[in-house]
């Protein structure tokens, strides 16, 4: 007798406040055979908060190519599996793309369990036009490549007329702001830090003011920059 294939659930989890999770996400996490996660320690805190004890398996940028075949094999055996990231919606600047592509190739069911994502949270509080936006994820680490990407955005701004959104680490945020100023001039920016967390901060100002602030105050946490 054949076994129906299981389902891979793409489950969005809180970006900070653990209460920001849907009832459906909790039900899926409770019922699946196991959970694929970037860092078992991070996901473990979420599961412990809701008193779940599911099996967790690490899936990250380094081991994803090695794990894909075994996950697809488990789906073929009828197992149901959840994929989560450390925070927010999986695959958005996080691992999982290769896995999803392979599951689709093998005709396994893939379902999205929607929920938090920091780029939309940042857009809604930014005060910038929300009807169209260009999301770049994390810019390249090399200054020259970051500059080239932002220059390409500037060339298309007249026709796009969209808000640009990027993620940035605290280690590169100041340099990225300086490159934005060099390309776009002293434009208006919104810098969101630690959204939904205890030390959440949203700064709406000229990019020169952001540069001055973070030159004096060491950047900490995860950043979303909009302009």
Rounded to 5 degrees, φ, ψ at 160 are: -75, -45
One domain for residues 160 and 99: no
For residue 117, give the nearest of 93, 133, 95 by alpha carbon.
Answer: 93
How many structural domains is the chain composed of? 2
One domain for residues 106 and 177: no
One domain for residues 101 and 126: no
Rounded average pLDDT over 112-141: 96
One domain for residues 102 and 125: no
One domain for residues 97 and 177: no
pLDDT at 1 over 50: no
pLDDT at 125 over 50: yes
Q: Looking at residue 93, what DSSP letter applies? A: S
One domain for residues 125 and 206: yes
Lookup: tokens for 152: 């390409």
Instruction: Assign residue 89 the CATH number of its domain.
Output: 3.40.1010.10
Which of 65, 85, 113 terminates a domain? The answer is 113
One domain for residues 130 and 188: yes
Burial 120-146 (b: 16+ CB within 10 A, else e): bbbbeebebeeeebebbeebeeeeeeb
One domain for residues 11 and 102: yes
Write down the pLDDT at residue 156.
87
Lookup: tokens for 204: 């709406």
One domain for residues 45 and 105: yes
Name the one residue in this structure whose structure tokens are 């054949």.
2
For residue 94, give the nearest of 129, 156, 40, 137 by alpha carbon.
Answer: 137
- The Cα–Cα gap between 158 and 161 comes to 6
For residues 81 and 9, the answer to whether their CB atoms sit within 8 Å is yes
Helix (H) or strand (E) segment spanning residue 167? strand 163-168
- Residue ranges making up the domain that contains 134: 118-226
**142 occurs within a structural domain:** yes
Rounded average pLDDT over 179-193: 97
- The Cα–Cα gap between 50 and 39 comes to 17
One domain for residues 107 and 124: no
Rounded average pLDDT over 195-211: 97
pLDDT at 157 over 90: no
For residue 72, give the nearest of 85, 62, 59 by alpha carbon.
Answer: 59
For residue 18, give the nearest of 55, 48, 54 by alpha carbon.
Answer: 48
Geometric angle at alpha carbon 62, from 173 and 22, rounded to 5°: 70
pLDDT at 2 over 50: no
Instruction: Tell me the range of 1-15, 26-40, 143-157 where mean pLDDT is highest.
Output: 26-40
Q: CB under 8 Å to 136, separation ≥6 — which residues? A: 149, 153, 164, 165, 166
């Amino acid at each position: 007798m054949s076994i129906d294939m299981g389902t891979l659930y793409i489950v969005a989890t809180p970006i900070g406040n653990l209460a920001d999770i849907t009832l459906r996400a909790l039900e899926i996490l409770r019922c699946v055979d196991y959970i694929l996660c970037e860092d078992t320690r991070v996901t473990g805190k979420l599961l412990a908060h809701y008193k779940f004890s599911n099996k967790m398996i690490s899936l990250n940028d380094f081991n994803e190519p090695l794990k894909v075949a075994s996950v697809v094999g488990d789906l073929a055996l009828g197992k149901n599996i959840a994929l989560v990231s450390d925070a927010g919606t999986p695959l958005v600047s996080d691992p999982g793309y290769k896995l999803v592509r392979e599951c689709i190739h093998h005709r396994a069911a893939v379902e999205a369990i929607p929920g938090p994502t920091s780029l939309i949270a940042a857009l809604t509080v930014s005060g910038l036009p929300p009807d169209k936006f260009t999301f770049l994820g994390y810019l390249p680490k090399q200054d020259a490549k970051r500059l080239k990407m932002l220059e390409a955005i500037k060339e298309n701004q007249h026709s796009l007329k969209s808000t640009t959104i990027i993620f940035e680490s605290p280690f590169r945020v100041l340099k990225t702001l300086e490159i934005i100023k060099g390309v776009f001039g002293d434009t208006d920016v919104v810098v969101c830090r630690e959204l939904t967390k205890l030390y959440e901060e949203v700064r709406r100002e000229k990019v020169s003011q952001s540069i001055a602030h973070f030159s004096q105050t060491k950047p900490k946490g995860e950043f979303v920059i909009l302009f």
